[in-house]
Amino acid sequence: MNIHTNIPLKNHTTMRLGGNARFMTDVSSAAEIAEIYRNAKGQNLPIFVLGGGSNIIVRDEGYNGIVIRNRITGFDIIDDQPSDVTLKIGGGEVWDSVVQRTVDMHLTGIEAMSGIPGTAGAAPVQNVGAYGQEIADTLLSLEAYDSQTDSFVTLQSNDCGFSYRDSIFRGEATGRYVITSITIKLYKNAPQPPFYAAVEQYLAAHNITLFTPQVIRDAVIAIRADKLPDPKIQPNTGSFFKNAIVEAWQLTDLRANYPDIPTYDMPNGRFKIPTGWLIEQAGLKGQTLHGMHIHDKNALVLINESATSYADLASARDEIIGAIRDKFRIAIEQEPLEI
């Protein structure tokens, strides 16, 4: 296990902004994670665990601690039933590679999450999801190092506090756990319609009536390629803002002025409004603010065209949030985490 010093984090995150990490190391086992935490505690050094760097924003001052890159591998069948398969996945596995392997096994449950960058261990942190699926739908449990108790624990799905793009790992347990593996249950039946609207439209446009996990994966990859820029070419973090969640009374007020506002039903009588639609209605789609370009095809995406600092990104973000607040009285939230 090698520990490197003064590492530019912009080279390890897809927005390509921010300062340096004081220390950085890769870990390939749970034991290495525990060792690092114990040593860091003795030196009073903070720790941040980095997956693929696709959902992280780094401030200009960088990180005055140790950044761990999770490289723990593993893809094991732990239960095979007539209708379903349970898999244990190493936290450092590349998420899209995991999806491809499950699709190759003709399993359904995560195929609509194809193309999402990052690692398997990062998936529960923000309850990643796309096109009608999210990790909370299939996650049974996860194993993690608990830095508070210096022990390894198993958390059940119900322990994770999952909600839309959120979990305890972004809330009350921020920084406490390092996810070393996830256990998911997938199914052997074919994907069943109705699918997410964009997927339905793609399938209809291409006259596809036979649904398999590979068909859905191919459709999602094609949709994403059209709507989401490749971060290797155009620096971005995917969807920069969460979709807005509003109460019924708020939606009633909004419909008085915007009768065509798109919505999706959510639990507890609330509604999801696509934030990309809000940004577009505010006239910001396609604009460039402080070197950050609001993607022409998907206003949720901010592309780093010429920004040179976190301060540039923060200025653009705050202008967008302010414009939506002023026009719709809705407070939209940033999706990527910050360090």
Which positions are catalytic? 165, 239, 335
Q: What are phi and psi of 19, to 5 degrees?
A: -90, -160
Angstrom distance (rounded) from CA 260 to CA 257: 9
Match 């990104």 to its residue by tokens.
313
Match 């300062």 to its residue by tokens.
19
Instruction: State the DSSP code for 38.
Output: H
Q: Are 127 and 169 in contact (CB under 8 A)?
A: no
Torsion of CA 11, 16, 19, 22, to 10 degrees: -30
Residues 6 or more apart whose CB falls under 8 angstroms from that of 31 comprise none
Pairing type for strands 63-70 and 20-27 reads parallel
Match 């803002």 to its residue by tokens.
241
| Alpha helices by DSSP H, the chain | 30-42, 95-104, 197-205, 213-227, 248-257, 275-281, 310-328
Comparing CA positions, the residue from 224, 226, 223, 270 lying closest to residue 246 is 270
